[in-house]
Amino acid sequence: MVEPYEALLKKAYTHVTEPSESVERFSVPEARSYIEGKTTVLENFADIADVLRRDQDHLLKFLLGELGTAGKIDGSRAIFNGKFEPALISSLIKSYTEDYVICSECGKPDTRLVKDDRVLLLRCDACGGHRPVRKRKARTEPVANEVTEGATLDVEVQSVSRRGDGVVRMGKYILYIPGGKPGQKVKVRITRVSGSIVFTERLP
């Protein structure tokens, strides 16, 4: 039986508005993390992995690599050694979602990671597209010896700390930029390095 055009149209619309595996329904839970003693706890780690439909170990490995630290899964939480700003954890979850979940062709999250030879591919069930998983962009990643007191750097502010300073993540370092706003490109001089925490002053 051939369905009349109107019926098909109606069906199509119903399909669009009904929450299925659609983009509308897909929203990554905001990372809830806090510093506890010398560790950082990501409270809703398992939830995030669930929504992203990714292996917890894969997500953990990514986070540990980016933070340059050790850590473990503890029930539904993840615990990282070291103190990391919630803004940093949030931005890493966003990076992971962009690199390992969202299809760059159609922007949908209905994807799977598959190994083709030795290349990890992101295969999209929604549009059939696939691409190699992006290697993490070098961004403005400095070699370690650039992060020394007195060094000047051009950086792009990524997020804002609870105290209102701009935050730039560089490998294991977190730079604080006084008054920096996300997206702002600034020239800074490093005034103090304390472990992985780097304080800076703005240069004109």
Question: Which residues contact Zn ion by CB under 5 A?
Answer: 103, 105-106, 124, 126-127, 129
Residue with smaller CB distance to Zn ion, 91 or 111 = 111
- Phi/psi of residue 171, each to 5°? 55, -125
CB of 58 to Zn ion, least distance (A): 20
CB of 104 to Zn ion, least distance (A): 8
The Cα 63–Cα 44 span in angstroms is: 14
Whether 167 and 87 have beta carbons less than 8 Å apart is answered as yes
Residue with smaller CB distance to Zn ion, 27 or 194 = 27
CB of 125 to Zn ion, least distance (A): 8
Residue with smaller CB distance to Zn ion, 58 or 130 = 130
Whether 194 and 179 have beta carbons less than 8 Å apart is answered as no
- Phi/psi of residue 27, each to 5°? -140, 125
Residue with smaller CB distance to Zn ion, 61 or 131 = 131
CB of 102 to Zn ion, least distance (A): 9
Which one-letter DSSP state was computed for residue 181?
-
In order of 175, 187, 198, the CA distances from 183 in angstroms are 14, 13, 19
